[in-house]
């Protein structure tokens, strides 16, 4: 029997309660993430297609981690 | 986003002469600069940007015909490079962790109650956690329990997929389906997501 600590319980509760339908898988997301990053970096209003990417990122910690790393890299280029 | 001239990257990288060599050197420098920021403070700095930039560059060149121009070329190339770097960082970070170590000797979750200063709140939390425990046991498959458990231990789905011989899309779907089952189970038990979130915020 494995116990979850307080942080893990909060994470699990967060994962469950924020779950929404997701139209993308991780490969689909990867195919659009460069375009999505430019929307964010240029502070442009998201199209419906980009909102779908945003929804995947909000539910996939793996893709979100890569997206944040991409933003760090792109911001370094403009620094 | 880049201040680098975005013109003709594809043409330059596909040419046969010195133009191509110069373009490759330029792109390598751009990727290295970006990867330096990416590798900083992630997964214990176990990967140096110099170690992954060549592999990243080769992958960009290999995929160049798939560039559709929906973003700037350098953003697209950096996306590929970052994926290479992050994957290597994750692989190294979790290299010595076996699935057995991570999942312990049982697939069951024991969700301990969180003592709360408010007596009524504590009772509510206990009820929710007890329901969560029951839902995990009754609704999730063993594979889903493993995947969720690994995620809660910080293992990215990419690494879980590699260690279990699956693929990232399949594991993401496995976890997402588990989340949907648990959320629906809560709703059927009379708990709404917003109320639960507020209680555990």
Evaluate whether residue B4 is within a structural domain: no
- B105 and B184 share a domain? yes
- Domain assignment present for residue B3? The answer is no
Enumerate residue ranges in chain B where pLDDT < 50: 1-3, 105-108
Instruction: Examine residue B1 and state whether it is found in any structural domain, yes or no.
Output: no
Residue B76 shares a structural domain with residue B17: yes
pLDDT (0 to 100) of residue B122: 78
Note the pLDDT of residue B107: 40
Q: What is the pLDDT of residue B10?
A: 93
Count of structural domains within chain B:
2
List per-residue pLDDT tens for chain A, 79 residues long. 567 788 888 899 999 999 999 999 999 999 999 999 999 999 999 999 999 999 999 999 999 999 999 999 999 998 7
**B88 & B138 share domain:** no
Identify whether B117 is part of a domain.
Answer: yes
**Distance, CA of B128 to CA of A64 (rounded, Å):** 28
Domain boundary among B93, B119, B136: B93
Radius of gyration (Cα) for chain B, nearest Å?
23
Task: Kindly report, residue by residue over B23-55, the tens digit of the pLDDT.
Answer: 999 999 999 999 999 988 787 777 889 989 999
Question: Tokens in use for B151?
Answer: 């995620």
CATH number of the domain to which B121 belongs: 1.10.10
Find, in chain B, the residue whose alpha carbon is nearest to that of A36.
Answer: B71
| A46 touching B (Cβ < 8 Å) | no
pLDDT attached to residue B105: 47
Last residue of a domain, one of B46, B74, B93: B93
- DSSP letters for A11-55: HHHHHHHT-------HHHHHHHHHHHHHHHHTTPPPPHHHHHHHH
Answer yes or no: do B85 and B119 share one domain.
Answer: no
Give the model's pLDDT for residue B115.
59
Extract the tokens encoding B103. 């999942």
Residue B82 to residue A70, Cβ atoms within 8 A:
yes
Q: What is the pLDDT of residue B199?
A: 86
In terms of phi and psi (left: phi > 0; alpha: psi -120 to 50; beta: otherwise), the region of B3 is alpha
Q: What's the confidence (pLDDT) of residue B40?
A: 85
Same domain flag for B134 and B194: yes
Residue B108: which of A2, A8, A17 has the nearest Cβ?
A: A2
CB atoms within 10 A of CB B3: 9
* Inter-chain residue contact B148 with A75, CB threshold 8 Å: no
Q: Which domain holds residue B85?
A: 9-93
Residue B112: predicted pLDDT: 56
Q: End of a domain among B36, B59, B93?
A: B93
Q: Are B106 and B76 within one domain?
A: no
């Amino acid at each position: 029997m494995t116990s979850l600590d307080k942080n893990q319980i909060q994470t699990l509760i967060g994962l469950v309660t924020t779950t929404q339908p997701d139209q993308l898988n991780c490969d689909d997301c990867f195919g659009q993430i460069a375009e999505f990053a430019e929307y964010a970096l240029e502070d442009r209003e998201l199209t419906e297609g980009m909102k779908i990417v945003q929804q995947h990122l909000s539910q996939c910690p793996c893709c979100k981690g890569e997206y944040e790393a991409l933003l760090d890299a792109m911001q370094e280029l403009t620094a | 986003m880049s201040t680098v001239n975005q013109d003709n990257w594809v043409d330059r990288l596909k040419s046969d002469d010195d133009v191509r060599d110069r373009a490759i050197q330029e792109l390598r420098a751009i990727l290295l600069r970006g990867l330096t920021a990416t590798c900083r403070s992630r997964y214990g700095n176990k990967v140096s940007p110099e170690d992954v930039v060549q592999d990243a560059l080769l992958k960009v060149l290999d995929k160049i015909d798939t560039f559709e121009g929906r973003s700037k070329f350098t953003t697209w190339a950096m996306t590929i490079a970052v994926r290479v770097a992050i994957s290597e960082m994750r692989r190294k970070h979790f290299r010595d962790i076996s699935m057995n170590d991570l999942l312990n000797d049982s697939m069951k979750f024991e969700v301990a109650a969180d003592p709360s200063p408010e007596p009524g709140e504590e009772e509510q939390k206990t009820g929710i956690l007890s329901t969560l425990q029951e839902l995990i046991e009754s609704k999730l498959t063993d594979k889903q329990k493993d995947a969720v458990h690994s995620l809660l231990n910080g293992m990215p789905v990419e690494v879980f997929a590699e260690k279990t011989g699956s693929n990232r899309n399949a594991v993401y779907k496995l976890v997402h389906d588990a989340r949907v089952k648990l959320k629906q189970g809560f709703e059927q038990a009379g708990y709404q997501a917003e109320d639960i979130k507020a209680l555990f915020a």
